[in-house]
Structure 1
Amino acid sequence: MQHHVSLRNLNTFGLESQAQSFEEVKSVEELTEILKNPDLKNTPKFILGGGSNILLTRDVDALVIKISIGGIEKVKEDDEHIWLHAGAGEKWHDFVMYCVEHGYAGIENLSLIPGTIGAAPMQNIGAYGVEIKDVVETVEAIFYDSAETRVFSKEECNFGYRESVFKHELKGKCIITGVTFRLNKKPVYHVEYGDIQKTLQEAGIESLSIKAVSDAVIKIRKSKLPDPAEIGNAGSFFKNPEIPEEQFNKLKTDYPALPGYPVSPGFIKVPAGWLIEQAGWKGFRDGSIGVHTRQALVLVNYGGGSGEEIKLLSQKIQKSVEEKFGISLIAEVNFI
């Protein structure tokens, strides 16, 4: 076990934060050993995956456990589907690429999303008309108190928009160690979202394939989102709000260009990035932090910024959007 370890290179914002103590685990057995250690029973613990969805505003006065449980293996298959199990420490994009290369369909629209397998069901990650709940079969997790493993069915995960049981009822109670996915051997393409269709046409793609869709998504994401290796960020900072249709129609009168997408009876999803841009924040910079020049939904650390500064900026953005549109933005990033 290491002590007073810098987490700067373990979070995509590139923020400096010291872990009181630190341990990397590469197997469920290693994790179980830590949880069963009587000397660590009362030690606060913080689970770290890819560090792509956290905002470190302070030092972490806890035992930081870095989950590096790897491995991808076939569980079973039939004529239409294949079931793959992946360790929680596998990088999400690497897993997507593995599936694309082997012709397993269902997650190609989720290409280039940062983070790990373990964080994916927690957030119910999604993009371009696809969410992870569409392909999850089961989620394995180990409980802090008992060190016992439980397998959660898709239904038990209580997936919602960027939500799951692991973010609410089970928050701080268990650690995801692996996920089993059911993927398709016969692709069902989702190309009607965003600029996928346009990008495919520009690339001269006449016959669809999951690789073509993945390549299009990667190209779009690279054109809109900064690479964390170059500019510190956590991707989309806020959730896209879902508002009552009546409220949307009233706003549409004042703002005819306001985009909206029906998500459930009586509710419309509005792009948070559009709201932030209209409130004048796109490209804003204050010293080492700011709002990205190409995508207002992304808050950035240009180098040397602090988590507290980014937190305060996010609160200013929330306040201005609330005042202008009467819409409350909720952070997708977890504040630590």
Structure 2
Amino acid sequence: MSSLLNDYSLLTHNTFGFDVRARFARTIEDERDVADAFHDTRTASMPRLVLGGGSNVVLTRDFPGVVWLVGLRGRCILSETTDAWLVEAAAGENWHDFVAWCLDEGCRGLENLALIPGTVGAAPIQNIGAYGLEIAEYFDSLRAFDLSNGVIVELDCADCAFGYRDSVFKRLARDRYLILSVRFRLPKAWRARTAYADLARELVARGVAEPSAHDIFATVAAVRRAKLPDPAALGNAGSFFKNPVVGAAQYAELIAVEPELVAYEQPDGSRKLAAAWLIDRCGWKGRCHAGAAVHDRQALVLVNRGGATGADVLALSQAIRDDVLARYGVELEPEPLVV
């Protein structure tokens, strides 16, 4: 059984770098630890928070209960058919490292999701996506510990109810499951996804006309490093806001007054607006509130310049949301979990 840690600092367990503390914490390094923690009578009545890499959370205060620190490790190719590989990784595996491992094993498909911060277990919660791909496309199933009854279950794509940066784990099943491992089915019939403008431009700049999966992986990582701050150097949680989706009528009204509005047509005729463009147009890039700020190269990213609290970040995000709503009539929705 893993030991119960008292008055534990979460400074290194959230990428914003907020120095908040947990009343208790315990490490989860194998599935026995999960069961032991679940049945521990010392903390059974306390609030519980599950943390992986802490890359999509805003900690606003000391946590009055017990924090489970997920460190489950392991990855493998479960099976191979003539059409696909079935790969699995434990929830505590670093996402970027897992994508790199897949490519080294000859399993292509996830390369557009290179350098996304966080763990494998967090990926289905957020239905992470970038550069023309969401994990839902290659997701097969996951194993999870049901915190309502202590039973291990397997959930498929339908069970997870994936949406844009969304899943059942953020709605009806919030706080119900601890994800143990995730499986992806990666088809052998591979095609390069290079339509995203920033990726296409960088491939041209590198003189890569027919990119391999490794080429895309390296190029995506380079583009992300150029645009986004490293959380190890400047505290942040990546993109703080979702790109809002508006109907055709509202889009027509917006484009009439903002011809340069960046938007992407969706299959149902709606438009996904670039939240970064809206925020930048409102003049927020580089602006500060206490120790929190909008990054000067990417308006979607809120950063901790040093000494900021979770409350400072939330106050800044609310001011941005109010400004965008007043100017464009568009509601921005934050991505991170607020605790």
Distance 1:131 1:234 in 2: 18
Identity rate, percent? 38
- In structure 1, distance between residues paired with 2:103 and 2:219: 13
Aligned counterpart, 2:181: 178
AA of the residue aligned to 1:311? L
Partner of 2:223: 220
The two structures have a TM-score, normalised by structure 1, of 0.98
Superposition deviation, residue 265 in structure 1: 1.3
> In the alignment, which residue of structure 2 is the partner of 1:308?
311
Q: Which moved more, 1:182-191 or 1:75-84?
A: 182-191
Aligned with residue 205 of structure 1, among 198, 202, 208: 208
By how many angstroms is 1:105 displaced?
A: 1.2
The yes-or-no answer on 1:281 pairing with 2:281 is no
SS state of the match for residue 38, structure 1?
coil
**d(CA) in 2 for partners of 1:74 and 1:259?**
40
Residue deviations 1:211-233, cap 9 Å, x none? 00011101110111000011100
Match of 1:28 among 26, 31, 34: 31
Aligned partner of residue 238 in structure 2, secondary structure: coil
User: Retained in 2: the 8 A contact 1:105–1:186?
Assistant: no
After superposition, the C-alpha distances for 1:161-219 in whole angstroms (9 at most, x for unaligned) are 01111111111111111101111333221100131111111111133210000111011
Q: How does 1:1-336 map to 2 (within 5 A)?
A: 1-336=4-339
Q: TM-score, normalised by structure 2?
A: 0.97
- Partners of 1:103 and 1:185 within 8 A in 2: no
Contact 2:291 2:312 in 1 (8 A): no
Q: Contact conserved, 2:43 with 2:65, CA < 8 A, in 1? A: no
Alignment length, in residue pairs? 336
CA distance in 2, matches of 1:68, 1:278: 41
- Give the distance between the partners of 1:82 and 1:237, measured in 2 at CA: 33
Flag as ranges the 4+ runs of structure 1 deviating above 6 A.
none
CA contact (8 A) 2:18 2:309 kept: yes
AA aligned to 2:159 is E
AA of the residue aligned to 1:181: F
Structure 2, gaps ≥5 residues long: none
**Residue type at the aligned position of 2:329:** G
